[in-house]
């Protein structure tokens, strides 16, 4: 196992990909509301741009600050050197290529959702006259889909980094983190507890108890039994004979 795999923030944001089907389903329901008010290509373009452009720009220029949950982030100066190396891995050219690939993939998925949207018209959340509300729901859900998949894909790329390559990565400069990454304004000293030290201590074998030596004064001196005085017992027959 690679050393940086013990970082819980990586696994938390990797699991965010599980929310992708939920938001794609909401996008489908939004597109199922009413009939198109604009040309088909224009509606798909507007929903696609609203969902893809902001996240793609973020991941390309100022990647998501991975050491955060929702709207709370860990203060940059509290990061360890390993965590700073993880941030440096998000600023590579590979991550930019991955961000572009994910954007194209989701654009293709959006077009398929638009094609099959009429099949979900019976379960649309709004009446047919609320087409604009449906498009707004579709754009918002598609934006969330991009966010969760983009972050999860970039995390996966970091997790697959070879150990030797990660060790050779320079830690990101703390003073530049706020300008190089998209970070929440609400920042705290710590978000997750650290269990590494406790696990190591619990896994360490217990030291065997050594028996105390006989010569140890703290354990108490052991008094060996003395032989009985035979002179007293031997003199008894002699006294009885004299009587």
Tell me, what's the pLDDT at 205? 44
- The answer, as to whether pTM is greater than 0.95, is no
pLDDT at position 193: 67
Distance CA 98, CA 59 (A): 9
What parts of the chain have a pLDDT lower than 70? Answer: 193-243
Work out the angle between the directed axes of helices 93-116 and 131-159 (0-180°, nearest 10).
Answer: 150
User: What pLDDT shows up at residue 189?
Assistant: 84
Q: Are 9 and 67 in contact (CB under 8 A)?
A: yes
How much is the pLDDT for 183? Answer: 92
What are the C-alpha distances in Å from 194 to residues 47, 65, 152, 203? 41, 19, 23, 16
Give the pLDDT of residue 143. 97
**For the purposes of burial, counting CB atoms within 10 Å of the CB of 223, is it exposed (0-12), middle (13-18) or buried (19 or more)?**
exposed
- Please count the helices (runs of H) and the strands (runs of E) in the chain: 10, 3
Distances (CA, A) of 157 to 17, 26, 80, 96, 170: 14, 28, 20, 11, 17
For residue 194, the model assigns a pLDDT of 55
* Residue 191: per-residue pLDDT: 76
**78 Cβ partners below 8 Å, 6+ apart?**
189, 190
The count of C-alpha atoms lying within 13 angstroms of the C-alpha of 59, restricted to the half-sphere facing its C-beta, is 26
Q: Residue 21's pLDDT is what?
A: 96
């Amino acid at each position: 196992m690679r050393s940086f795999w013990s970082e819980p923030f990586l696994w938390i944001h990797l699991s965010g990909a599980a929310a992708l089907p939920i938001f794609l389903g909401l996008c489908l329901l939004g597109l199922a509301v009413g009939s198109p008010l604009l040309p088909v290509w224009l509606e798909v373009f507007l929903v696609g741009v609203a969902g893809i452009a902001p996240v793609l720009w973020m991941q390309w220029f100022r990647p998501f600050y991975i050491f955060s949950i929702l709207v709370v982030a860990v203060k940059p100066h509290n990061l360890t050197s390993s965590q700073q190396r993880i941030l440096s891995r998000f600023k590579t050219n590979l991550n930019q290529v991955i961000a572009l690939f994910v954007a194209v993939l989701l654009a293709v998925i959006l077009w398929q959702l638009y094609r099959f949207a009429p099949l979900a018209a019976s379960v649309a959340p709004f009446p047919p006259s609320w087409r604009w509300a449906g498009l707004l729901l579709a754009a918002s859900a598609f934006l969330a889909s991009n966010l969760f998949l983009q972050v999860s894909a970039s995390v996966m790329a970091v997790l697959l980094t070879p150990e030797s390559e990660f060790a050779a990565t320079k830690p990101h400069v703390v003073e530049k983190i706020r300008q190089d990454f998209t970070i929440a304004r609400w920042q705290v000293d710590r978000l997750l507890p650290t269990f590494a030290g406790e696990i190591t201590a619990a896994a360490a074998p217990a030291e065997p108890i050594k028996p105390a030596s006989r010569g140890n004064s703290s354990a108490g001196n052991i008094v060996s039994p003395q032989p009985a005085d035979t002179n007293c017992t031997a003199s008894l027959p002699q006294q009885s004979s004299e009587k």
